[in-house]
């Protein structure tokens, strides 16, 4: 069968092939705990900075990952110790994200103080990139920084993003924050628990989501039957908490677009672990520019077949969200349907008459 002979399509397919190569390992099966990399730790005994706005820190880092690494700073909640969230450290690090988990100068510090502690922790990360005896010297991307925390620490993480607009992403774990000033542009992921009586979602997480600008990429995932500590480890929600958090940071912090369709088409598509999902972010077709439709078609979304209003023979090619070519054929006025029944539910991209359109298959 003949291929489309246009420069635009040729460039699109080259881009798709390159992105497809990058995305080979971007699957649900590879969002494991632990990840593929070996890890090690650094403490103040190893020479890391003793930040004045926090009490003690542990840095978890990959020893055989691909540099430069993105980083995230994490702080626990009211009256809690770093051990309450420490499982996140080796999890993130084993997937290539350097993680610093800190304690607080007082166990009863409020969110604003915890925000300053997180910013101080990020300063420690930055200094590791230049400390001559650090194994992380020159190994960090200091423009890819995120913050996270549990409970009041989660509230502090959101406030840290307000105070420092260089922060790229926030992961708030069942956050508690009565300050509604959340005007920031850091991509925000909020986990909440349906049965959380300490920070009820309707009073906390849901309000935080609403008070974050709609111009900011944001996602709220409420874990069904979850309590206040449901997101304290990557294993929350039968492991989906870790999968979503990692995918969010890979997308928003490391800017790996391959993880966007993994979120929207897999992890967030009718998730059994969720009692509520709110999202305000979009995926772009990888390596493919969406344009106006070339030919009328219906229905979309569809459960099986899509019918086209073509009056002549045309060639088409169907792509996955990761740019993989799935199906090539032709449409004629007599044979004007594409059957998607063999493919799983999700979003697909159709190339036809030098234009690319989005199709959605549903149950």
Query: Which CATH number describes the domain made up of 25-280?
Result: 3.40.50.1820
- Give the integer Cα–Cα distance in Å for 240 and 249: 14
3-52: pLDDT as tens digits = 333 333 333 433 444 444 456 678 889 999 999 999 999 999 999 999 99
Closest CA to 148 of 176, 179, 120, 169: 169
Q: Which residue has the tokens 């697909």?
A: 348
**Once rounded to an integer, what is the mean pLDDT over residues 226-252?**
98
**Rounded distance, CA 18 to CA 225, Å?**
42
Q: Tell me, what's the pLDDT at 24?
A: 62
pLDDT at 270 over 60: yes
Q: How large is the average pLDDT for residues 212-234?
A: 97
Give Dmax over CA atoms of the chain in angstroms: 75
Domain boundaries, the chain: 7-20+286-361, 25-280
Q: Tell me which of 251 and 17 has the higher pLDDT.
A: 251
pTM value is 0.78
Can you give the pLDDT at residue 4? 34
More confident of the two residues 24 and 180: 180
Rounded-to-10 torsion of CA 183, 101, 128, 166: -10
d(CA 99, CA 121): 10
Question: Is 206 part of the annotated catalytic residue set?
Answer: no
Given the residues 151, 192, 229, 247, select the one marked as catalytic. 151
* Catalytic residue (choose from 120, 168, 228, 247): 228
Q: Which of 172, 164, 168, 159 is nearest to 186 (CA)?
A: 168
For residue 13, the model assigns a pLDDT of: 39
| Degrees, nearest 5: CA angle 52-208-187 | 70
Query: What number of other Cβ atoms are within 10 A of residue 56's Cβ?
Result: 15
User: What's the Cα-to-Cα distance from 118 to each of 87, 232, 306, 317, rounded to whole Å?
Assistant: 18, 17, 51, 48
**Looking at residue 84, what is its pLDDT?**
98
> What is the tens place of the pLDDT at every residue in 115-157?
999 999 999 999 999 999 999 999 999 999 999 999 999 999 9
pLDDT of 2 above 70: no
Q: Is 228 a catalytic residue?
A: yes
**Could you tell me the two tokens for 275?**
């009692």
Least confident of 95-99, 158-162, 290-294: 290-294
Q: Looking up tokens 């992403």, which residue turns up?
A: 169
Q: Catalytic residue, from 53, 109, 120, 196: name it.
A: 196
Pair 162, 147: CB distance under 8 Å: no
Verify whether residue 12 is a known catalytic residue.
Answer: no
User: Which residues fall within 8 angstroms of residue 39, CB to CB, at 6 or more apart?
Assistant: 60, 61, 62, 63, 90, 93, 94
Using left for φ > 0, alpha for ψ between -120 and 50, and beta otherwise, residue 298 falls in beta
Tokens standing for residue 209: 């989501």
Instruction: Dump pLDDT digits (tens) for 54-105.
Output: 999 999 999 999 999 999 999 999 999 999 999 999 999 999 999 999 999 9
Pull the structure tokens for residue 124.
Answer: 């420690």
CATH class of 7-20+286-361: mainly beta
């Amino acid at each position: 069968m003949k291929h489309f002979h246009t420069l635009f399509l040729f460039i699109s397919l080259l881009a798709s092939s390159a992105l497809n190569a990058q995305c080979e390992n971007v699957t649900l099966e590879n969002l494991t705990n632990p990840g593929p990399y070996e890890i090690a730790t650094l403490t103040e005994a190893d020479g890391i900075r003793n930040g004045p706005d926090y009490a003690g820190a542990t840095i978890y880092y990959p020893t055989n990952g691909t540099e430069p690494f993105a980083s995230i700073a994490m702080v626990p909640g009211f009256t809690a110790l770093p051990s309450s969230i420490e499982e996140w450290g080796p999890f993130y690090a084993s997937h290539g994200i350097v993680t610093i988990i800190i304690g607080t100068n007082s166990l009863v510090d409020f969110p604003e103080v915890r925000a300053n502690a997180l910013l101080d922790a990020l300063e420690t990360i930055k200094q590791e990139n230049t400390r001559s005896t650090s194994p992380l010297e020159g190994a960090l991307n200091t423009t890819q920084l995120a913050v996270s925390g549990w409970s009041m620490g989660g509230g502090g993480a959101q406030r840290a993003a307000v105070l420092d607009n260089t922060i790229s992403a926030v992961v708030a774990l069942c956050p508690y924050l009565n300050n509604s000033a959340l005007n920031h542009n850091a991509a925000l992921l909020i986990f909440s628990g349906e049965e959380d009586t300490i920070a009820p979602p309707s009073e906390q997480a849901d309000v935080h989501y609403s008070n974050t600008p709609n111009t900011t990429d944001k996602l709220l995932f409420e874990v069904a039957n979850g309590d206040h500590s449901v997101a304290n480890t990557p294993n929350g929600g039968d492991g989906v908490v870790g999968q979503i958090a990692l995918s969010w940071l890979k997308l928003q912090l490391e800017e790996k677009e391959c993880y966007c369709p993994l979120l929207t088409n897999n992890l967030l598509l009718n998730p059994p672990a969720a009692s509520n999902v709110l999202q305000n972010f979009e995926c772009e077709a990888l390596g493919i520019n969406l344009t106006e439709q070339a030919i009328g078609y219906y229905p979309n979304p569809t459960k099986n077949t899509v019918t086209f209003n073509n009056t002549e023979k045309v060639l088409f090619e169907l792509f996955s969200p990761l740019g993989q070519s799935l199906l090539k054929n032709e449409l004629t006025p007599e044979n004007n349907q594409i059957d998607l029944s063999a493919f799983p539910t999700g979003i697909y991209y159709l190339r036809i008459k030098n234009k690319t359109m989005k199709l959605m298959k549903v149950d």
